[in-house]
Amino acid sequence: TKTIQDTLAEIIPERQAIAKELRSQHGSKVLGEVTVEQVFGGMRGIKAMLWEPSVLDSEEGIRFWGRTIPECQEVLPTAPGGKEMLPEAMFWYLLTGKVPTAEETVQFQNELVKRSVLPSHIESTLDALPKTLHPMTQFVIGVAALNHDSKFAAQYKAGMKKADYWVPTLEDSLDCVAKSFTIASRIYRNTYLGGAKDMPALQMDKDLSFNFANQIGFGDSEGFVDLIRLYNALHTDHEGGNVSAHTAHLVGSALSDPFLSYSAALAGLAGPLHGLANQEVLRFILDMVKEIGEGASNEKIVEFIWSTLKKGQVIPGYGHAVLRKPDPRFMALQQFGESRPEVAADPVFGYVNALYKTAPAVLTEHGKTKNPFPNVDAASGSLLYHYGLKNFDFYTVTFGTSRSMGALSQVVWDRALGLPLERPKSLSMGAINKLIGSP
């Protein structure tokens, strides 16, 4: 069975040749123009970044190396006894563009679990943090401190050749992904369970999601373990322009190692316009339960949606900056709930479905949002909640373990393709006026 290192060593020269051809034959072709509005408008729609693992289409959603989510669910291996694609298989696929065999997946999973053991200085650093510190801040600190043992940083200092950069970048990225799971479980125990001393040991023959679930006290729940697998596989990557992915790529371009790059990405994921939205959806649904009770009619739900909009608030979990159709990540999570009778019967999850049936028409009539359909956050929190993970502040940490796989896959490709320091041009308003010839 081939290792991830050998597999990438084979693929990288092929893709380096494609990059060389694109740059030498088509380097001066135009991909788009930039308007003044885009300079003020968050750079939406500007095509200016290379991102290999995934591309987002506004109509059909995300494709990972060309495959839709249902296509990935079809081909990526699952755990023994599990129904959902394994995040480890998705990580291999994001890194290589090749679907791993069952044997490759098991070998890769074992390697990652072995790497997920934390150095003792990370454990003591995490244990010393106040329980009142937001779990995402703890996550940022834990991942940044992994840089202590960065192979990339050490080999760079020792004078490594540029052509070799990707090798220790891959090693650090594998460590970073694996250790993100154990950092997350330690943060959970420290913050909500009074400390990590009773944390179950890692089971080396099991996957990262099982071990994470087991360490935070949900190892006996098959449904929860499979949800964590699906959740982690789905949130890995959403092309390059989102804040967390872009940050890892930007910071990595300064040749900061993968730990520093991903720690910075996590700081972006912690923002309420990005990773925090899933907890808002749950708060919205619980408010709805408080106000109109469980299992209310669609009429009552529509009234509740309108009253929220009339207060000038958004319907969390609906709308998207790029998507113009229901998010296929939402559809996958919704199907997960629908296919499990005990979840489907949960009134909180019931409201996820009821909102999906009612909110798009209300938002369309309201007439503001460009996309009246649900995004991934519309379902994810209610599923975690169903299984008993009720600490909302922790939800974004689960997003963070997942996003490491997509963001760092591209960081490996950044180094393999020799991409330079990222440094776009900025302009003052005076400089804009001068450029457009306005007095």
Residues of this chain that bind ligand CMX (CB under 6 A): 273, 277, 309, 314-321, 363, 368-371, 375-377
The catalytically annotated residue of 57, 134, 274, 366 is 274
The catalytically annotated residue of 346, 377, 386, 414 is 377
Nearer Cβ to ligand CMX (62/113) = 62
> Can you read off the two tokens belonging to residue 225?
């373990």
CB of 314 to ligand CMX, least distance (A): 4
Nearer Cβ to ligand CMX (89/323) = 323
CB of 307 to ligand CMX, least distance (A): 13
Nearer Cβ to ligand CMX (53/168) = 53
Active site residue 148: no
CB of 261 to ligand CMX, least distance (A): 20
Residue whose C-beta lies closest to ligand CMX: 319
The catalytically annotated residue of 172, 320, 327, 386 is 320
Nearer Cβ to ligand CMX (143/376) = 376
- Round to whole Å and give the CA distance between 172 and 255: 13
Nearer Cβ to ligand CMX (20/368) = 368
Nearer Cβ to ligand CMX (62/146) = 62
CB of 41 to ligand CMX, least distance (A): 9
Contacts of 188 (CB under 8 A, 6+ apart): 135, 215, 216, 391, 394, 397
Active site residue 274: yes
Active site residue 257: no
CB of 224 to ligand CMX, least distance (A): 22
CB of 265 to ligand CMX, least distance (A): 14
Contacts of 342 (CB under 8 A, 6+ apart): 223
Residues identified as active-site? 274, 320, 377
